[in-house]
């Protein structure tokens, strides 16, 4: 029979037994165990593999390429007179990491006519301002979607609005094919600061518009439209699947 085991990247696996719970509590005569790795090779002790005299396996400093099917065979007797029995156990061992995340913002602006070149120019300027705002935090702003629509307002007729969707992510995560393992790669604090800077940027824009005695410009932020969601993401080659992995539903 088979068992799923989840091992966090660069950490040690749990103790993986070459025996069932029933046999674990029984006296076994002349037990002989043997482990085979994902490539079918017989495992022996080394810097990344530890096997106890009773056949318990521990994988050290687990890496993605150690993932795969591990098979343990145990030959034993329950009494000295009876013939030997053989037990085969198959372990599906998965490397996992905690998910990375990014923020996704949506915001609306009163706009020039939808076919106007001024909207395109404003879009570039806005992205440059936001990018500069978070650059020192090693974060990046990426435009996901920009759409201009005609919106019918209550008792105000039609007006043009641009709907922006953009993400704010850490520059040092998601760019490589392997998760960063250093403590400096914990980007929660930097992303949180970037989120606050962006929220304050739009609050300031709303205050300027509200306090200004001049006529409103053609393109301006519509107060109260800024929305933000937290989105989990995995590194390339990793994914989340709570159906296939109910024991580790939030693992990458």
In a domain, 239, yes or no: no
Q: Quote the percentage of the chain above a pLDDT of 70.
A: 93
120 in the same domain as 8: no
Q: What is the pLDDT of residue 98?
A: 86
* Residue that is last in its domain, among 43, 68, 96: 96
Burial class (CB in 10 A: 0-12, 13-18, 19+), 19: buried
Domain of 21, in residue numbers: 2-96
141 in the same domain as 72: no
Cα–Cα distance measured from residue 20 to residue 29, given in angstroms and rounded to the nearest whole number: 15
Pick the more confident residue, 141 or 212.
Answer: 141
Give a three-class secondary structure readout of 106-168: EEEEECCCCCCHHHHHHHHHHHHHHHHHHHHHCEEEEEEEEEEEEEEECCCEEEEEEEEEEEE
Q: What is the pLDDT of residue 180?
A: 52
CATH number of domain containing 201: 3.30.70
Q: What is the pLDDT of residue 176?
A: 46
Q: What is the pLDDT of residue 183?
A: 46
Q: What is the spatial order of strands in the sheet that 85-96 belongs to?
A: 2-8, 85-96, 68-77, 29-36
227 in the same domain as 111: yes
pLDDT above 70: residue 32: yes
The pLDDT tens digits of the residues spanning 158-209 come to 889 999 999 999 886 544 445 555 544 557 888 999 999 999 999 999 998 8
84 in the same domain as 67: yes
154 in the same domain as 140: yes
Q: Where are the alpha helices (DSSP H) in 7-116?
A: 21-24
CATH number of domain containing 87: 2.60.40.10
Report which of 199, 227, 216, 181 is spatially closest to residue 61, judged by C-alpha positions.
181
57 in the same domain as 15: yes
61 in the same domain as 127: no
Pick the more confident residue, 232 or 109.
Answer: 109
71 in the same domain as 143: no
202 in the same domain as 80: no
212 — pLDDT class (breaks 50, 70, 90) = confident
142 in the same domain as 64: no
209 in the same domain as 86: no
**Global pTM value:** 0.63
Domain count, the chain: 2
pLDDT above 80: residue 157: no
14 in the same domain as 81: yes
Pick the more confident residue, 15 or 234.
Answer: 15
């Amino acid at each position: 029979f088979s068992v799923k085991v989840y091992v966090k990247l660069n950490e040690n696996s749990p103790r993986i037994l070459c025996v069932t719970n029933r046999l674990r509590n029984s006296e076994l005569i002349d037990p002989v165990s043997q482990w085979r790795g994902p490539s079918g090779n017989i495992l022996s002790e080394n810097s990344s593999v530890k096997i106890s005299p009773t056949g318990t396996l521990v994988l050290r400093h687990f890496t993605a390429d150690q993932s795969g099917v591990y098979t343990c065979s145990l030959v034993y007797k329950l009494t000295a007179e009876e013939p030997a029995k053989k037990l085969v156990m198959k372990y599906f061992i998965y490397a996992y990491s905690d998910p990375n995340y990014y923020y996704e913002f949506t915001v609306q602006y009163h706009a020039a006519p939808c076919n106007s070149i001024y909207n395109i120019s404003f879009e570039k300027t806005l992205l440059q301002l936001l990018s500069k705002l978070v650059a020192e935090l090693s974060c990046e702003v990426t435009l996901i979607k920009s759409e201009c629509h005609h919106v019918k307002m209550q008792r105000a007729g039609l007006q043009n609005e641009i709907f922006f969707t953009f993400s704010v992510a850490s520059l040092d995560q998601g760019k490589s094919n392997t998760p960063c393992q250093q403590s400096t790669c914990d980007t929660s604090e930097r992303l949180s600061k970037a989120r606050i800077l962006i929220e304050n940027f739009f609050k300031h824009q709303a205050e300027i518009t509200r306090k200004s005695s001049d006529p409103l410009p053609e393109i301006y932020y519509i107060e109260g439209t800024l929305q933000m969601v937290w989105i989990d993401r995995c590194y390339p080659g990793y994914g989340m699947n709570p159906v296939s992995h109910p024991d580790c539903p939030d693992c990458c």
